[in-house]
Amino acid sequence: MHVNDAKLVISAASEKQYPETDRPEVVLLGRSNVGKSSFINTLINRKGLARTSSQPGKTQTMNFYDIDAKDASFSFVDMPGYGYAKASKKDREKWGKMIETYLQKRGNIVLVLLLVDSRIGPTEDDRLMYEWLDYYGKTPIVVATKADKLSSNARRKAASQIADELGISNTGQIILFSASTRDGKDQAWQTIEQHL
Ligand code: GTP
Ligand code: MG
């Protein structure tokens, strides 16, 4: 995919601020610090477009990025990370509600990517998120992040463990991904293109 243009449209904190558009949306979900913003930056070759940080809880709004490529126009929606232990209960509830409202009301979602840390595997929150999405007919594709931290043998094991724990029958569907080495970038683009 050759991306010509990528820009942040809005950092939305509520439904009223969703962009009025019928562009297809590809949603990034996952724990805080799992690598959602880094995933976007890697796919579009722009280091600093989506803000990343060593501090978990960086993305606290829904960030809509319009992506224009030669053959496709769509948006990435970078969601606040869940499961950030140090966030206040009130903040966690607010982000949870924000994610739920968006997923239930938005009609132009074409693909949900659920990012899981390849070294940790699915957490309880990841399992609940997967099941919730599956129940509502928005079964996500899983991206196993930070694969550069694992040997190739450990990667294979991580993929089958994630598949096992989430009840995914086809391990090959899990995208082993690294923002550092760019491994998995082509598979990620193929998956996105299939859904546009
Ligand atoms: P929140 O916005 O807090 O929800 O986090 P996020 O999911 O957007 O994570 P982000 O992309 O900000 O990455 C968090 C940290 O992990 C940063 O320090 C990144 O540099 C690092 N990181 C992300 N992806 C990778 C990867 O593939 N490999 C390695 N080694 N580090 C990564
Ligand atoms: Mg982020």
Q: DSSP readout, 29-87?
A: EEBTTSSHHHHHHHHHT-TTSS---SSTT---SEEEEEEEESS-EEEEEEPPPB--TTS
CA of 54, closest atom in ligand 1: 18
pTM score: 0.95
Question: Which residues are near ligand 1 (CB < 6 Å)?
Answer: 30, 32-38, 52-54, 56-59, 81, 145-146, 148-149, 178-180
Q: Which ligand is nearest to the CA of 95?
A: 1
Mutation to probe ligand 1, out of 32, 36, 43, 52 (largest number of atoms < 8 A from CB): 52
CA–CA separation, 71 vs 86, rounded Å? Answer: 42
* Angle at CA of residue 145, ends 77 and 150, nearest 5°: 170
CATH number at residue 57: 3.40.50.300
Mean pLDDT over 72-91 rounds to: 84
- pLDDT tens for each residue of 9-57: 999 989 999 999 999 999 999 998 999 999 999 999 988 888 776 666 6
Please classify residue 159 by burial: count the beta carbons closer than 10 Å to its beta carbon, then call 0-12 exposed, 13-18 middle and 19+ buried.
buried
Res 138: pLDDT: 94
Res 137: pLDDT: 93
In this prediction, residue 106 has a pLDDT band, given cuts at 50, 70 and 90, of very high
Mean pLDDT over 120-147 rounds to: 95
CA of 30 relative to ligand 1 center, distance in Å: 11
For residue 58, pLDDT over 70 is answered with no
In this prediction, residue 85 has a pLDDT band, given cuts at 50, 70 and 90, of low
Mean pLDDT over 56-85 rounds to: 86
Res 57: pLDDT: 63
In this prediction, residue 60 has a pLDDT band, given cuts at 50, 70 and 90, of confident
CA–CA separation, 19 vs 78, rounded Å? Answer: 14
Q: How many domains are there within the chain?
A: 1
**Which residues span the domain enclosing 155?**
3-195
Mean pLDDT over 140-148 rounds to: 98
Tell me which amino acid residue 178 is.
Answer: S
Q: How far apart are the first and last CA of the chain?
A: 12
In this structure, the dihedral spanned by the alpha carbons of residues 105, 27, 108 and 190, taken in order and rounded to 10 degrees, is: -160
| Mean model confidence pLDDT for the chain | 92
- CB-based contact 27:20 (threshold 8 Å): no
CA of 81, closest atom in ligand 1: 4
- The residue whose CA is least distant from atom 13 of ligand 1 is 35
